[in-house]
Structure formats: C-alpha cells, structure tokens
Amino acid sequence: MNDLNQPEAVARRFLAAFERADLDELRSLLSDAFVARVTTADGGTRQASADDYVASVVQMGVPTADLQLEVKDVTATGPDQVLVMVEVHAARGGRTLHNFSGQLATVRDGKIVELSMVDALPEGSDRFWSA
C-alpha cells in the first residue's frame, strides 16, 4: 500500500483539507460509504454521510475563520484505524475558539470510511461555528 494511503497520512491530509476548506480534496478523501459520528452541543451525536459532512463544513463558513488545526498526537489503533488528537484554534468577527478534538478514523484503500469525532467542548464549538 502506498504511504499516502496509510491511515495516518490520510487523516493528516483530511485535517489539512478541512483547515483550508478545500472541499474537493476533503470529499476525495471520504469513501462513498463514509459515515461520520460527531458530538453535538447537547452531548449527543449526529451521523452524516460524506456529502452531508462536506455540506456541514460549507455551513460552518470555515474560509471566514482563521482556523488552525494542530495535530497533537496520532496513534494507530489497528491496521486500518488511527486515533488523532487535534488542538483547534479559530477566530472570526472578534470571537475566538480554543478546543480539542479526538478523531478515530477507519481508512481503507486511501479513503476514510468511518470517522468518530469527540469534541472536548461541543457547546463552545457550536456557538462559534453557528454564529
């Protein structure tokens, strides 16, 4: 398998595309069978397909924020899985966001097929991205 298709490399490319709001690259890294589970402000989770996930990035208005994602740790949890700890900084319209996200990605054939994301402070993220 090509090193670029390894779970860690795919996860890093995914986060870089998210940070740049490169929707084409982001979508190209998601399998057509992709399923995301993302924490919500009320402590629950929402599920999203690949197209729904990309649409949510559009709705967040990532290009209007000074988003910086710093990978703090990457741990392989299996041959096709990687757990990534990300520190999130963003600023927009006089508001700031500082948060942490744990993301467990399952990667097959160079594409993410499953992503479970836990946000340390989901209410703060929701307030920042929805305003």
Structure tokens at 77: 């949890």
Q: Which domains does the chain have, with CATH numbers?
A: 3-130 (3.10.450.50)
pLDDT band at 102 (very low <50, low <70, confident <90, very high): very high
- What percent of the chain has a predicted confidence (pLDDT) above 90? 91
Buried-state track 81-116, b at ≥16 Cβ within 10 A, e below 16: ebbbbbebebebeeeebebebbbbbbbeebbbbbbb
Convert the pLDDT of each residue in 35-69 to its tens digit.
999 999 888 999 999 999 999 999 999 999 999 99
Convert the pLDDT of each residue in 72-91 to its tens digit.
999 999 999 999 999 999 99
Q: What is this structure's pTM?
A: 0.93
Structure tokens at 91: 């600023």
pLDDT score of 1: 47
Q: Are strands 111-119 and 95-108 parallel, antiparallel or unpaired?
A: antiparallel
